[in-house]
Structure 1
Amino acid sequence: MTSTSAPTDTQASTTRRIASLDVARGIAILGTFGTNVWIFTEPRGMVGYLKTVGGESLPIRVLQTLAQGKFLGLLSLMFGVGLAIQQASAVRHAAADDRARSLRSRRPWPGRYWRRALVLFLDGLLHFLLVAEFDVLMGYALVSFLVSALLILRPVARTRWVIGAVAVHLSVVALAVLAMMLSGDGAASQRSTSNPYADGSFLDLVLFRIDHALLFRAEMIFMIPLTIAMFLTGARLFQAGIFGPDGAGLRRRLMTIGAVAAVVDLAVGVVGAPLGLSGPAVFVGRYAIAPLVALGVLALIAEFYQRRAVGRVGGALRNVGRTALSCYVLQNLVASALCYGWGLGLAARYGAEHRLVFTLAVYVAVMGFLLAASALWTRRFSRGPIEMLMHRAA
């Protein structure tokens, strides 16, 4: 049996944008690039990154561990929050009209949400082919088809879906880690003398992604159960009032979970290489521990802005959050132009000998560009260009 509940006070308050919500999205976008930037600055791109991640010098391992999976988890939670907000808006619009049952303009949830999901999928497909083989938008679009329908279920039914999805995900993680340990090599084993990232044209990279589409889309498929759980959890946390004054107890519990998980995650990431388990360590950290850290990060952001106005730094992050999907694509496009051979080709020149300094420089440069671009854009528009397309699709 299904049930679409009326919006709570917390949900209704989203007619005004919640400051911490936009800031959290902005942090998720910039933090996700903290993981992806190491792919761009690796001279052999994604192929080289898969072979070396977790096995580099201690400072690099620490930095990679601090970003690995946490902000992707935060982005997934925020996507779930966004679905809950859209559902609440649809319910309010239907309830506001006494004749909603007979009007063709009624918008029951999920209604025409599939149009938004389709636009997101097509955007992700173009992003994968033209920009980045690690795109998450295609997976987000596919999962959102399912989760948008699941949101009309009773909370207990949604909880069962979360538990089931987590159980499936952790079972696959355990099997994958066991396979890595038995094989003695968690890195990609594919070898090739050519390097399209450094030597190829833009078209060469597109064709390379098409030729290896199954390999590059394997993570998206693998993460479907986890993404379902994170979307539903984000929606439930929003409905439970994590951004409101009554959510203090919930935020404290999540911050405690996140703090403990962060310590465990850092320890696993640092000691993995010396023990000869760099691949399994990265895998466990990214897919099993990092989602718990993401819960703590979300709670920390929400708590920080309970009694504080958004200042200059928060305002800059909020601009990125308001244009989150557009900034996600833009940051990868700019980094590609800086690092790959079809652009400036900086990764081949500096990525090997000056890995740490070069990566930090690229991160700061792209982050600064995003902050400036989002600030200029939001002076005239309330949404980013991709967000506009999705809004019009509805």
Structure 2
Amino acid sequence: MTAKRIDVLDLLRGVAIMGTLGTNIWIFTSPAGPAGVLDALGGTGAVETVLRFLSNGKFLALLTLLFGIGLELQYRSAARRGASWPGRYLWRAGLLFAEGLLHYLLVFEFDVLMGYAVTSVVVAYLIGRSDRVVTAWTAGAGVVFASMVGLVTLALISDDTPASPSRPGTLFTDGSYADQVAARIELAGFYRLEAVFIIPLGITLFLLGARLMRAGALEDSARGAALRGRLMAAGLGVGVPLNLLTSFAGDDWVLVDRYLLPPLVALGLLALITGVAHRMSRLSGGVPGFARRGLTAAGRTALSCYVAQNLIASVLCYGWGLGLAAKLADLRPWWTVAAWAGICLLLATLSALWLRRFRRGPLELVWHWAYTAPRRRLAAADSSGR
């Protein structure tokens, strides 16, 4: 890959990370916190519904596509070295699972890294197979997931029992940090349900991301532009209107609104952002502007930014921190938007400053040290054996 294409990939990661916070911030700024996730994401009026629509599910799907592209790059790297596959990638997936487990226990109930780790192991054994096998798995996993969403949606629509208003708990407004950790352990089955539920979708998007990479979706070329045009037509021309409709359709359509249509929109976003980035790069002579530098830096330190944004939001919103979720509840949705923008600006700035001195983000450095530990031990053993 060229350096230019890697920059585009980092930019996409930065946008995806910031966009994921755009959904999670509604959970953090709800007085009920993650325990009231359905109320937090349900919207209370047209303005909040539109604001929630802008990010809900779309950037999670974009991030999932990018994980698939990353897996494709790892596969290519192993092939160039003549290394066995999946080989060391399984150790990589294990580290990702451990990172996700710690993130879940210590920071955020709806961590996605554990689910990505499990999905990556499945996809690692598929990514090098024939196009026919990959297409069958992509379509099959997609059909399974769509069927699951459809069945649950039909059950919700056919249920005439009115939903009773939920009573916000006090765990996230008055509870201690230790209380929240204990609750994550006790309610792991509830909080980890989403990660298990979306594994078929993850398989589909991982494989689709890898195939889009091979098809040239990130290339600044004629074939790349043609493919991006088709993706934008489907994702933005068809997906956006349908997703906006389901955003106003009521709670019965929550799964379609969050999981089924956003991946289609994410394909359009991937194409749009990539195309705009290539065009701006040509116009500027390859010199990135302030916004692109910040987003690219966030993409290069994506793991650190993902964990940091949830940690910062916890400190701002929960009772053991500043407790702003309860204090500013009457200012939703506007204070929610301000919190998101402030955290994004802070992380983009800090990431850019950090990368002036280091090649990797803080957590990326620790992660790389752990990933290369087996090789260091083998090298030390060989050296002592001589």
Superposition TM-score, scaled by structure 1 size: 0.88
Give a deviation string over 1:286-344, Cα, whole Å, max 9, x none: 11100000001001112112233232211111000001111111100000000001111
1:193 is displaced (CA, Å) by 7.1
1:302 corresponds to: 274
> Partner amino acid for 2:119?
V
2:98 corresponds to: 122
Contact 1:116–1:391 (8 Å) recurs in 2: no
Give a deviation string over 1:237-276, Cα, whole Å, max 9, x none: 0111111113121111001011110111112212x2xxxx
Contact 1:186–1:279 (8 Å) recurs in 2: no
What SS class does the counterpart of residue 109 from structure 2 fall into?
coil
Distance (Å, rounded) in 2 between the aligned partners of 1:319 and 1:292: 26
Alignment partner for residue 64 of structure 2, among 76, 83, 88? 76
State how 1:317-336 maps to structure 2 within 5 Å. Answer: 317-336=295-314
What SS class does the counterpart of residue 132 from structure 1 fall into?
coil
Distance (Å, rounded) in 2 between the aligned partners of 1:113 and 1:389: 17
Contact 2:27–2:40 (8 Å) recurs in 1: no
Cα RMSD between the aligned structures? 1.8
2:28 corresponds to: 40
Q: Which runs of 5+ in 2 are unaligned?
A: 282-287, 373-386
Q: Are residue 378 (structure 1) and residue 350 (structure 2) matched? A: no
Q: 1:314 to 1:184 in 2, by over 3 A?
A: farther
Contact 1:29–1:75 (8 Å) recurs in 2: yes
Q: 1:215 to 1:30 in 2, by over 3 A?
A: same
2:115 corresponds to: 139
> Partner amino acid for 1:142?
V
Distance (Å, rounded) in 2 between the aligned partners of 1:375 and 1:184: 52
Q: Are residue 349 (structure 1) and residue 323 (structure 2) matched? A: no
Contact 1:124–1:137 (8 Å) recurs in 2: yes
Deviates more, 1:150-159 or 1:192-201: 192-201
Between 1 and 2, higher relative CO (CA 8 Å, sep ≥ 6) is seen in: 1
1:269 corresponds to: 247
2:13 corresponds to: 25
Contact 1:29–1:328 (8 Å) recurs in 2: yes
> Partner amino acid for 2:172?
Y
Q: Are residue 258 (structure 1) and residue 246 (structure 2) matched? A: no
Q: 1:390 to 1:239 in 2, by over 3 A?
A: farther
1:52 is displaced (CA, Å) by 5.0
Identity of aligned residues (%): 48
Q: 1:79 to 1:193 in 2, by over 3 A?
A: closer
> Partner amino acid for 2:202?
T
Q: Which runs of 5+ in 1 are unaligned?
A: 1-12, 95-106, 273-277
Superposition TM-score, scaled by structure 2 size: 0.90
1:290 corresponds to: 262
Distance (Å, rounded) in 2 between the aligned partners of 1:343 and 1:195: 14
Q: 1:120 to 1:14 in 2, by over 3 A?
A: farther
Q: What is the aligned residue count?
A: 362
Contact 1:116–1:390 (8 Å) recurs in 2: no
1:5 corresponds to: none
